[in-house]
Amino acid sequence: MTIPRLRGAALATVALMATGSAVVPGPAAAAPGAPGTPRYTAGAPTVGDPYFPDQGNGGYDVQHYDLVFSYDPATRFMDATATITAVATQDLDQFNLDFRGPEVSSVTVNGHAHAFTRDGQELIVTPRPKLKAGQRFTVVVRYAGVPGPVTDPDGSIEGWVPTDDGAFVVGEPQGTPAWLPTNDHPTDKATFRFTATVPEGLTAVGNGQLLSQQTRDGWTTFVWDNTEPMATYLATITIGKFEVTQTVTPGGIPSYVAIDPRLVAGSADAVSQIPKMLEFFTGKFGPYPFASTGAIIDYAPNVGYALETQTKPIFSSRASVGTMAHELAHQWYGDSVSPERWSDIWLNEGFATYAQWMYTEYNGGASVQQTFNSSSNYGRAASSSFWQIVLADPGPEDMFSNIPYNRGAMTLHALRGKVGDDAFFRILRQWAAIHRHSDAGTADFIALAERESGQNLGAFFDVWLYQKGKPTTW
Ligand code: TRP
Ligand code: ZN
């Protein structure tokens, strides 16, 4: 679902027709995707994000992922059928999916079986008949075997991470193709449905709402439906022994919280504050962007971080109050409004970190000004290596270092001082509203901040986002 891009293309076509142009494009001049004689070419093998050059693909736009699978933690064996519904954005004789998962036994496009090849994380499909621009098509990929983790440039792991009672499933920034063939870039959002069959006694927890849960012959099948657009990196279907609590928040949002029994006591404070956090953030950022909420608190000590998986943040050990606030704030900033490029990661982490500072203040802890001044933030010496990374382009090794988090949050606090509270919170709310369920980049944010404040903020953002060094005047 590349909503903005499609809308742009549609408008361009209308404008062209409205001018009644005398130039009638002949077949030879027709670009791929133009109306008229089809000209079939291969979809690009990437979206061209320099942090992860293999990520994403061109030539189509995914609408929906439907994954039906079984998983047995005893053997770590997965048996899966993924059905992907997409729309061709050019005349296609070949396209790629990103997939690092186990052995593929078949690929069909619109019901026709096809030869396919694999090359690194690319699953290359040559549909016959070929696909015309605008055509909706369905790809079915069958695969089985033992999925595993993906290692990131900073050495951390993600993807499909086996645990002592199941699997911890996270995908930021590039882990989802470990278990699902996708167009793996945040700019192609889609809806998702997971039908997971696991041994009786275990729970499979996915994004969105639980449609059904049925046990037969020692296996339980869970059907999870995520009906709002979601970036692939925010998908999860985590499996384990969980204590489940289903409630409805005072704001009327259904909540599903699954906690590893070993972590219930240590996470109780954070879990009990979910409704209060959602209410506080709704007051500051605007309506909660999804139809459900909750959390997954699992024991995966080798992962060591939490993730803002859509509708249900996931934790790899006990959930703290601060991290819970951070991951819930991401539902607005990161999940509903996702980055256009991974270099924009401060738009995720800086915002969620600043929200965490705000919640701490609201909860009677340090004020945001005190946190800004502290020794882990502006109080760092100018000579610290912390200041030597450019916030708007930290690089793949540093995208989850403290730069996007702390310098990002400091940038927002400095902006708040510069434009005043009224304009600042208007900017935050507009950001969530304008780009709801979509993507946006740093240039969009700067333009919005200038529009809402009426100020020229070029020098301000240059110092905070594009220059190295500790800002001194802004
Ligand atoms: N985005 C996560 C958060 O801030 C953190 C995260 C995701 C992460 N993937 C990672 C941290 C990989 C380290 C390595 O909540
Ligand atoms: Zn974060």
Asked, for residue 283, whether it belongs to a domain, the answer is no
- The ligand 1 atom at the shortest distance from the C-alpha of residue 323 is 15
User: How far is 49 from 54, CA to CA, in rounded Å?
Assistant: 8
Report the CATH number that the domain containing residue 421 is assigned in CATH. Answer: 1.10.390.10
Q: Is 207 among the domain residues?
A: yes
The answer to whether the beta carbons of residues 420 and 277 sit under 8 Å apart is: no
How many domains does the chain fold into? 2
349 lines ligand 1 (CB under 6 A): yes
Give yes or no: residues 227 and 359 share one domain: no
Of the three residues 240, 273, 294, the one that is the final residue of a domain is 240
Residue reference for tokens 């991974």: 342
How many helices and strands in the chain, by DSSP H and E?
11, 23
Cβ–ligand 1 distance for 225 under 6 Å, the answer no
Are residues 200 and 74 part of one domain?
Answer: yes
Check if 172 has its Cβ closer than 6 Å to any atom of ligand 1. Answer: yes
pLDDT given at position 30: 45
Give tens-digit pLDDT for 41-54. 999 999 999 999 99
**Ligand 2 centre distance from Cα of residue 350 (Å):** 8
Closest of 94, 99, 98, 89 to residue 59, by C-alpha? 89
Buried b (16+ CB within 10 A) or exposed e, 243-266: eeeeeebeeebebbbbbbeebbee
Domain that holds residue 419: 339-466
Same domain, 172 and 23: yes
Note whether 220 and 350 are same-domain residues: no
The answer to whether residue 186 sits within a structural domain is yes
If one compares 22 and 385, the residue with the highest pLDDT of the two is 385
Residue 468: how many CB atoms within 10 A of its CB? 9
Give domain status of residue 306, yes or no: no
- C-beta neighbour count of 375 within 10 angstroms: 9
Residue 359 shares a structural domain with residue 229: no
Measured in angstroms, how far is the CA atom of residue 431 from the centroid of ligand 1? 22
Query: How many angstroms separate the Cα of 270 from the Cα of each of 243, 265, 352?
Result: 16, 10, 16
Check residue 114 and give its pLDDT. 85
Residue 323 lies in a domain: no
Read off the pLDDT of residues 356-386 as tens digits, 9 standing for 90 and up: 999 999 999 999 999 999 999 999 999 999 9
DSSP 136-199: EEEEEEEEEE---EEE-TTS-EEEEEEETTEEEEE-TTTTGGGTS-B--STTS-EEEEEEEEEE
The stretch 148-163 carries a mean pLDDT of: 97
Q: What does the pLDDT average to over 45-72?
A: 98
For residue 99, the domain's CATH number is 2.60.40.1730
Instruction: Read off the tokens for 61.
Output: 């736009």
Substitution candidate for ligand 1 out of 150, 236, 305, 356 with most atoms within 8 A of CB? 305
Which atom number of ligand 1 is nearest to the Cα of residue 327?
15
Q: Which of 218, 240, 262 is the last residue in one of the domains?
A: 240
CB 335 near ligand 1, within 6 Å: no
Given this model, what pLDDT does residue 459 score?
Answer: 98
Maximal CA-CA distance, the chain = 73
DSSP reduced 3-state for 406: helix
Give a yes or no: residue 285 inside a domain.
no
Q: What ligand is nearest to the CA atom of residue 174?
A: 1
- Distance (angstroms) between ligand 2 centre and the Cα of 294 equals 17
Ligand 1, atom 5: closest residue by C-alpha: 307
Ligand 1 within 6 A of CB of 401 = no
Q: Which of 280, 266, 315, 265 is nearest to 294 (CA)?
A: 315
Taking only the tens place, the pLDDT of each residue in 428-474 is 999 999 999 999 999 999 999 999 999 999 999 999 999 999 999 99
246 has pLDDT over 90 = yes
Q: Is residue 363 part of a domain?
A: yes
26 and 162 share a domain?
yes
Inside any domain, residue 295: no
Domain closes at, from 225, 240, 255: 240
